[in-house]
Structures are given as C-alpha cells and as structure tokens.
Amino acid sequence: MLNVAMLSKWHVHADDYARQASENENISIKIVWDENEERGKKWAEKLDVPFEADLLKVLQNPEIDAVIVDTPTNLHKEIIILAAKHKKHVFTEKVLAFTVQDCDEIFSAIKENNVKLMVSLPRLTEDYYIFAQETIDKGLLGRLTSIRCRLAHNGAVPFEGNPTGWLPGHFFHKEECGGGSFIDLGAHPIYLTNRLAGPVKAVTARLQNTLGYEVDDNAVAVIEYESGALGTLETGFLSNGSPFQLELYGTEGTLLIEDHSIRVKSKQLGDGWIIPEQIPESLQSPMVQWVNNIVGNIEPSITDEDIRNLTLINQAASLSNEQKRRVVTTEITNIRQQA
C-alpha cells in the first residue's frame, strides 16, 4: 500500500486525481498540503484526512511514500525535487516544468534518489491514439506528410457571475501558469503529435490574448518535423462545442478522428472510407502505470522523452510568439547546454 500526500488543489484536475487515488486499491490518501491554507483545509475535510500547513513536515514524514502534485506549475520544479530528495515517488499534472533545463534537473533528482515520476499525459493511453499509432506503423498512410490536432473548450468565455468563464481565475496568472491555453489544454495535441510524427525541427506559434487576459486564450502552432511532415496544433479556451480532432495525412492514405468517430482511407485497403469494426483496448491510466512502476517495477508507456518533448515544444512556442519568428528546436537545446 502506498501512503500518499495530496500536494495542492490548485489545478482543476486535482479532484480527479484524488478520486483515482481513492479508487486504487494500492493507494491510501493520508494527508493534504496546499499553498493556500484555506483551500487545503476544506479539501482535507472533504477527503477526511488531516491538513498539514508545513510542506517539509509532510515530506519528512516516514509514513508517506509518494505525493500527487497539483500545485501552480511554477512551483513544480522546487516541490518535485524536494519530494525526490525526501525519497517520495511523484505523480504530477502536466507540464512538468517551463524549460527543458528544468525538466532535466528534475529527472536527475528523480534518478539520484531512486524514486518514480509520472506526468499525466492521459491521451497517450487512449484507444484512438493506439489505433493511430498502429495505422502509421503498419504503413497504411504511406509517408506521413501532415498532421493536425485540435482540442479546445469554452472555459474562458465569460458568463453571468463568472468573468473568466468556468476556469478558475488563477488559470490566467502568467507567473503561476507560464502561459494559457497552449501550455495547458494545448499540451494534449503537443504530446500526441510528438509521438505520432516524431522529432520536431522548428515551431512557429501565435498565442493570442483575444479577450485581454494576461495569458493566451486562443492559439495555433505550425510544427516542422525532421521527417519533412508539417503539423498544425490548435487549442483555445474560447470555443463552444469544439470537438476533439486528430487528422493524419500521408502519401498512401488518411486517418480522421473526431471525438469517438474514426475513419480511415488507404490505397492498401481499397476504395472508400473504412470505419474500423474493432480498435485496440486503451492502456492503463497514467496513475495506474505509476503505481505499477513503483510496486512492480513495470515500465510505463509514458516516458521521460514524452514529458521532456512536451516542454520543448512549449518553450519553443513561447519564444516564437514572443519574438514573432520561427524557432528551431536546437536553439532550445543550445540554451540548455550553455546554462
């Protein structure tokens, strides 16, 4: 049994992770810490566990085996490294950190202290992603030439009594979040297309502040892959009813995914669209994979490379938007090497 501390309810997914932990027979939630004491006390009461205002006391507690981190993103590096130094396994919300250099420092601390890290990249475990990956691997699309992924919602659209929409107001604080829609919701298109299209050569991004927030609420990035393929990533907090879309185009075929609808066309499969009768089963969730890695030493499907490349694209996109230019990913690598 893993005794777990919940570190902050800042992120909107914190309740989801508490539920997943409560439903996992290998996890027992023992304590809550929050940088916002009032919020933390309420959450601890809801979870029926003690609240501890001193983070060090939580991490020094020998009965705590692991932590689930949902703090502001700008606290990730400090808290995760501190947790690792106290020999606590770490599950955390995306993104891991704002820079590739910070990611590498976190990875080093995790490795040095022989603990397990998992960042929640859940769409890499979904059945449609696995089907898309298998379609590419089987060569049904030929050479991949274009990929497009869109994920957007209306979380920042104001309505009566909610001037920032249904998202919490702190989701628009740049210091805490590092950005807006692209770094948060756009993470899913980023890590999905990273996996499907391969290494990225360059990024050109436009992160719009449409409604005047401190961070972007609408964003598009054009991605150039080392393979020669092009990618278009779209996200935003201003779209009502926008479906999730993942589109792959190649020299031999096309794969279109919209929410739960999948259809494929390939020269190798004959004429016309085919709706697959069966698709692969989803993999275990990131949290289950994390637990299995800790208790059974079973390697997770989500890797450090997935985690690091998510930050790489975000860092390049932020620089591209700031300087209004195309950013080659080796620029980010060079920043890391010079530091």
Cβ-contact 95, 310 below 8 angstroms: yes
Give the pLDDT score at 165. 94
Q: Evaluate if pTM is beyond 0.75.
A: yes
Give the pLDDT score at 335. 64
Q: Given strand 66-69, what is the order of strands in its sheet?
A: 27-33, 2-7, 66-69, 89-92, 117-119
Cβ-contact 110, 91 below 8 angstroms: no
Q: How far apart are CA 140 and CA 135, in angstroms?
A: 6
Q: How many CB atoms lie within 10 A of CB 220?
A: 18
Q: Chain centroid to CA 244: how far?
A: 15
Query: At a CB cut-off of 8 Å and minimum separation 6, what does 43 contact?
Result: 6, 9, 14, 18, 32, 34, 51
The CATH T-level fold of domain 123-283+311-331 is: Dihydrodipicolinate Reductase; domain 2 (3.30.360)
Cβ-contact 164, 156 below 8 angstroms: yes
Q: What is the 3-state secondary structure (H, E, C) of 146-201?
A: EEEEEEECCCCCCECCECCCCCCHHHHCHHHHCCCCCCCCCHHHHHHHHHHHCCEE
The two three-digit tokens of residue 76, written as one number: 């990730």
- CATH 3.40.50.720, domain 2-119, yes or no: yes
**Alpha carbon distances (Å) from 290 to 82, 141, 192, 305:** 19, 33, 19, 16
Q: Domain-by-domain residue ranges, the chain? A: 2-119, 123-283+311-331
Q: How far apart are CA 32 and CA 54, in angstroms?
A: 10
CA-CA-CA-CA torsion sign (120, 89, 18, 8): negative
The two three-digit tokens of residue 131, written as one number: 């089907």
Q: How many CB atoms lie within 10 A of CB 241?
A: 7
Q: Given strand 245-250, what is the order of strands in its sheet?
A: 261-266, 253-258, 245-250, 144-152, 230-236, 218-225, 200-208, 327-328
Q: What is the pLDDT along the chain (339 residues), one digit of tens a residue?
A: 999 999 999 999 999 999 999 999 999 999 999 999 999 999 999 999 999 999 999 999 999 999 999 999 999 999 999 999 999 999 999 999 999 999 999 999 999 999 999 999 999 999 999 999 999 999 999 999 999 999 999 999 999 988 889 999 999 999 999 999 999 999 999 999 999 999 999 999 999 999 999 999 999 999 999 999 999 999 999 999 999 999 999 999 999 999 999 999 999 999 899 999 999 999 999 999 999 999 999 999 999 999 999 999 999 999 999 999 999 999 997 764 554
Give the pLDDT score at 336. 47
